[in-house]
Chains A and B, each alone.
Chain A
């Protein structure tokens, strides 16, 4: 507790945040408690469960494994940016329709991981979906309805399903 602080500036969901913070503040805590974007969840704080996954300059990253100061200057996206106002993103629609969530705690991390995945892999096989999901733990669903939801979302994003 030296009282040392740093001032950082990050863009989250298109909005700039400039905050003076302790250098040991985790990025996940910064997002949740400084930016007050509590949709990003913390499940293990050791980088395994993936609940805290956000997009860091467009790529999925575990916000519990980064310090907030390391995100200085970065462009971050969290679950709160996924819907366009009231209009849900196809991933959200697909998860709703296919029962791809139960308690919903892991869901934001999964949706952000899948957003990046489907951008790179617009027509994924089941094996590719399962591999892409393998960094996100879900304790409720057994993954099957998540896999179906991701496949459905991919089709929606390709404009192939109504």
Chain B
């Protein structure tokens, strides 16, 4: 028997260095002779660059170089298109440095390198750029109309992509409906805003023509491939290392951001180590944004509340380029039906270029937007039919008896939304019981009579997690008895090191302190894709399980040979292979590893070492689910909303480490609350971002985030041997619609409808006043 680790709240291996200030974040890397780079960003949303004159900057003592697109040559060709959506009309990707034309405020125009950051920032202001500004397309819906200023002059429309999707007979469904609800819903712009901004450090070794790049990326393996290709180098001569990274949430993966190419380029050109650290304003302006969509939705139902059909035609703000493809839109439509049975669905997403920062996934990657749409439509339908929102949901949930059930849409990687390994009615029952939903409803009229505006809201979601293509893992037992685990995907705080140790140590039968993990360094393992889409546990840990099982089998076979017993009579306990019931007869894994890597002899056809590499390539996404409920108290004088209770019930399958799972849910829910009531990126008509500090873009503090109660109702996934479903993003999913419903419920006497998130106290007051006036 080995120690049980999977499922235990094991304290994190990562924490000591983080708690003592001895971690190595990107700006902590200091190399001898290192110089510092800063980026010149476009101050215009759309302009032609007539001339860049760096003479005054270069004259400043300490300035080493200024690079523009002309210096880059072929390295400045457009970045790759990561997702070639079938509906693309005009795919356009960015370049490292804008060649002659800028398309958003914050786009990189030049790179300046100086002896130190202070000199570099002073010098940056001495670069003279002659811009010829022209009208910009900023508002999404205006940009989509014919005649709008073009973001890309070689197109005849800002519509980048238009992708329809049909399931069932939608026209018949709507023709048969007793009720049709129509709404326009807007999740507005927001941003991930990890506490550490982005950064890159690069060192070039001319004697071997090799580069080492430290990068805050979520995808070092892919970044290495692109950096090598762009610079015309062999991949083998480029190492990318993701050091300790201070949060990612999607914004730290783009392939490539300008600086991920420019800093290695400059290091190679100058033959000195170069560091670039983004400041917060740059992060707001130039790093990717998320969220803005406009959904034009119709929901058809019978008069007793049975869903018949759904149509959602939605516009998606891609920003100035679309390197990811309209992936957030694809994900939004992929999970649109949530946990409900809808026999007919039509979706169409229209991705539109605007002269704003590029949009790419932020925690949930469009799925929270889709969920906001579906859940808000359910709430409107409940209101029309005079049904309680919870009752309407009861009538439409997919049940375990229905499973496997085709939800109708197709998620990323052609994964049909097939409901399985789930029990949505049990989730709803638990949520309502924990909230004392019926008790709240009974008490609500009395509270209202006293002038207390309390409301209750719920939100139900299904979330695609653990997507392909694959991750890989090497598990290797050293003669020392230490076990080295190496993989390509890095961590940005999720505790991957700890969960991998749990999986490997339990599966192999070693003590966890004997296992070490190297992740996110291409010099240790250079296969895999990256950290995103709640896939580390599903894809990465499954790869670890498979590799470890192979090592275990090899150890048993080697020991069986040596001990002259059957492998099936052996067990591995604390790093020692021993005879079941006769523990004195045995051999350590270290001894087996040494014997498997002999100095003198090795049998022909036998691979040396006690090690294995394995990969996991899931068939498609693994769907997780959950429901949130909250009780709010609205101050109708100020519009402030106080969350009095917040309850999460969820199903993420087997939990490798419940403490880490809860941390993921709590953090994601807090980001959902921020995105619902506090955080909004605001542009003016000229495309200037007005919210470029934490004083304008409000990240919630400990005062705004309430205590959150979590209840686990996990059903193991049948799609992988660990039984896990992804959990990194689920907490964000239903926050906006549940929160909005709670506020609408509190303001029911005012007939409040919330169609856009985030909304804030002024919007709440407007909802109240509008009703009073009419």
On whether the two chains bind one another, the answer is yes
Q: How far is the CB of A35 from chain B (nearest CB, A)?
A: 12
Over the window 37-68 of chain A, the binary record of Cβ atoms lying under 8 Å from chain B Cβ atoms (1 yes, 0 no) is: 11111111110110100000000000000000
B11 touches A1 (CB 8 A): no
9-residue interface stretch from B140-148, B291-299, B663-671, B761-769: B663-671
A41–B280 alpha-carbon span in the complex (Å): 13
Known: A1-B61, A42-B27, A44-B694. Is A134-B666 also a contact (CB below 8 A)?
no
Of A33, A83, A137, which is within 8 A of B694 by CB?
A137
Q: How far is the CB of B499 from chain A (nearest CB, A)?
A: 13
Number of A-B contacts (CB under 8 A): 181
Of A101, A126, A131, A142, which is within 8 A of B705 by CB?
A142
Over the window 1-29 of chain A, the binary record of Cβ atoms lying under 8 Å from chain B Cβ atoms (1 yes, 0 no) is: 10000000000000000000010110001
Over the window 686-716 of chain B, the binary record of Cβ atoms lying under 8 Å from chain A Cβ atoms (1 yes, 0 no) is: 0000000111000101110101100000000
Known: A99-B660, A104-B244, A142-B708. Is A134-B19 also a contact (CB below 8 A)?
no
User: Any chain B CB within 8 A of the CB of A82?
Assistant: yes
User: Any chain A CB within 8 A of the CB of B516?
Assistant: no
B118 touches A38 (CB 8 A): no
Over the window 89-121 of chain A, the binary record of Cβ atoms lying under 8 Å from chain B Cβ atoms (1 yes, 0 no) is: 000100111010111111110010000000000
User: In chain B, what residue has the closest Cβ to A46?
Assistant: B693
User: Any chain B CB within 8 A of the CB of A76?
Assistant: no
Residues on the B chain within 8 Å of A145, using CB: 662-663, 666
Known: A140-B247, A142-B667. Is A103-B19 also a contact (CB below 8 A)?
no
A88 touches B20 (CB 8 A): yes
A143 touches B702 (CB 8 A): yes
Of A22, A79, A97, A101, which is within 8 A of B118 by CB?
A22
Known: A1-B122, A141-B663. Is A105-B195 also a contact (CB below 8 A)?
yes
A153–B666 alpha-carbon span in the complex (Å): 20
Interface size in chain A (residues, C-beta < 8 A): 60
Over the window 126-153 of chain A, the binary record of Cβ atoms lying under 8 Å from chain B Cβ atoms (1 yes, 0 no) is: 1001110111111111111111000000
A107–B705 alpha-carbon span in the complex (Å): 18
Over the window 206-232 of chain B, the binary record of Cβ atoms lying under 8 Å from chain A Cβ atoms (1 yes, 0 no) is: 000000000000000000000000000
Residues on the B chain within 8 Å of A140, using CB: 195, 247, 493, 663, 667
B20 touches A82 (CB 8 A): yes
Interface hub of A42, A83, A135, A146 (most chain B Cβ within 10 A): A42
A88 touches B19 (CB 8 A): yes
Residues on the B chain within 8 Å of A142, using CB: 666-671, 705, 708
B11 touches A96 (CB 8 A): yes
Known: A1-B122, A48-B694. Is A139-B20 also a contact (CB below 8 A)?
no
B20 touches A103 (CB 8 A): no
Q: How far is the CB of A110 from chain B (nearest CB, A)?
A: 10
B666 touches A144 (CB 8 A): yes
B11 touches A97 (CB 8 A): yes
A120–B492 alpha-carbon span in the complex (Å): 34
Of B195, B659, B701, B707, which is within 8 A of A103 by CB?
B195
User: Any chain A CB within 8 A of the CB of B119?
Assistant: yes
A104 touches B663 (CB 8 A): no
A137–B30 alpha-carbon span in the complex (Å): 26
Chain B contact patch, size range:
35 or more
Residues on the A chain within 8 Å of B693, using CB: 44, 46, 48
Interface hub of A48, A79, A143 (most chain B Cβ within 10 A): A143
B118 touches A103 (CB 8 A): no
Query: Which residues of B645-693 are within 8 A (CB) of A?
Result: 659-660, 662-663, 666-671, 693
Of B20, B119, B193, B699, which is within 8 A of A83 by CB?
B20
A39 touches B20 (CB 8 A): yes
Residues on the A chain within 8 Å of B249, using CB: 139
A29–B707 alpha-carbon span in the complex (Å): 36
Q: How far is the CB of A104 from chain B (nearest CB, A)?
A: 3
Query: Which residues of B622-665 are within 8 A (CB) of A?
Result: 659-660, 662-663
Of A1, A92, A105, which is within 8 A of B25 by CB?
A105
Residues on the A chain within 8 Å of B194, using CB: 103, 105, 139
Residues on the A chain within 8 Å of B450, using CB: none
User: In chain B, what residue has the closest Cβ to A105?
Assistant: B246
Q: How far is the CB of A82 from chain B (nearest CB, A)?
A: 7
A139–B663 alpha-carbon span in the complex (Å): 11
User: Any chain A CB within 8 A of the CB of B478?
Assistant: no
Known: A46-B693, A46-B694, A144-B666. Is A134-B21 also a contact (CB below 8 A)?
no
A153–B243 alpha-carbon span in the complex (Å): 29
A111–B21 alpha-carbon span in the complex (Å): 10
Query: Which residues of B4-46 are within 8 A (CB) of A?
Result: 9, 11-12, 14-16, 18-25, 27-28, 30
A95 touches B15 (CB 8 A): yes
Residues on the B chain within 8 Å of A129, using CB: 702
A83–B15 alpha-carbon span in the complex (Å): 13
User: Any chain A CB within 8 A of the CB of B495?
Assistant: yes
A41–B60 alpha-carbon span in the complex (Å): 30
A156–B694 alpha-carbon span in the complex (Å): 34
User: Any chain A CB within 8 A of the CB of B406?
Assistant: no
User: Any chain A CB within 8 A of the CB of B245?
Assistant: yes
User: Any chain B CB within 8 A of the CB of A32?
Assistant: yes
Q: How far is the CB of B121 from chain A (nearest CB, A)?
A: 10
B61 touches A104 (CB 8 A): no
User: Any chain A CB within 8 A of the CB of B239?
Assistant: no
A27–B493 alpha-carbon span in the complex (Å): 27
B19 touches A111 (CB 8 A): yes
B18 touches A101 (CB 8 A): yes
B196 touches A41 (CB 8 A): yes
Interface hub of B122, B193, B493, B695 (most chain A Cβ within 10 A): B493
Known: A95-B19, A111-B19. Is A45-B279 also a contact (CB below 8 A)?
yes
B16 touches A96 (CB 8 A): yes
B492 touches A133 (CB 8 A): no
User: In chain B, what residue has the closest Cβ to A146?
Assistant: B702
Residues on the B chain within 8 Å of A95, using CB: 15, 19
A29–B277 alpha-carbon span in the complex (Å): 13
Q: How far is the CB of A101 from chain B (nearest CB, A)?
A: 6
A105 touches B666 (CB 8 A): no
Residues on the B chain within 8 Å of A78, using CB: 21
A104–B22 alpha-carbon span in the complex (Å): 11
Over the window 188-199 of chain B, the binary record of Cβ atoms lying under 8 Å from chain A Cβ atoms (1 yes, 0 no) is: 000011111100
Known: A1-B61, A145-B666. Is A102-B19 also a contact (CB below 8 A)?
no
Residues on the B chain within 8 Å of A22, using CB: 118
A103 touches B247 (CB 8 A): yes
A37 touches B694 (CB 8 A): no
User: In chain B, what residue has the closest Cβ to A37?
Assistant: B21
User: In chain A, what residue has the closest Cβ to B663?
Assistant: A99
Q: How far is the CB of B700 from chain A (nearest CB, A)?
A: 8
B702 touches A139 (CB 8 A): no
B667 touches A102 (CB 8 A): yes
Interface hub of A29, A44, A48, A80 (most chain B Cβ within 10 A): A44
Residues on the B chain within 8 Å of A102, using CB: 247, 493-495, 663, 667
Query: Which residues of B568-626 are within 8 A (CB) of A?
Result: none
B667 touches A139 (CB 8 A): yes
Of A39, A45, A99, A138, which is within 8 A of B21 by CB?
A39
Residues on the A chain within 8 Å of B118, using CB: 22, 24-25
Residues on the A chain within 8 Å of B245, using CB: 103
Q: List 17 A-B contacts (CB under 8 A).
A: A36-B30, A38-B21, A38-B28, A39-B23, A40-B21, A43-B196, A96-B11, A99-B659, A103-B244, A105-B247, A130-B702, A131-B703, A138-B195, A139-B699, A141-B666, A142-B666, A143-B701
Name B's A-contacting residues (CB within 8 A). 9, 11-12, 14-16, 18-25, 27-28, 30, 60-62, 117-119, 122, 192-197, 244-247, 249, 279-280, 492-495, 659-660, 662-663, 666-671, 693-695, 699, 701-703, 705, 707-708
Extra contacts, 17 of them, besides A1-B62, A38-B27, A95-B19 (Cβ < 8 A), are A38-B28, A44-B693, A49-B699, A82-B20, A96-B11, A96-B19, A99-B12, A99-B660, A104-B15, A105-B246, A139-B249, A139-B667, A139-B699, A140-B195, A141-B663, A142-B708, A146-B702
The list of the 4 closest CB pairs from A to B, nearest first, reads: A39-B21, A103-B493, A104-B18, A105-B246
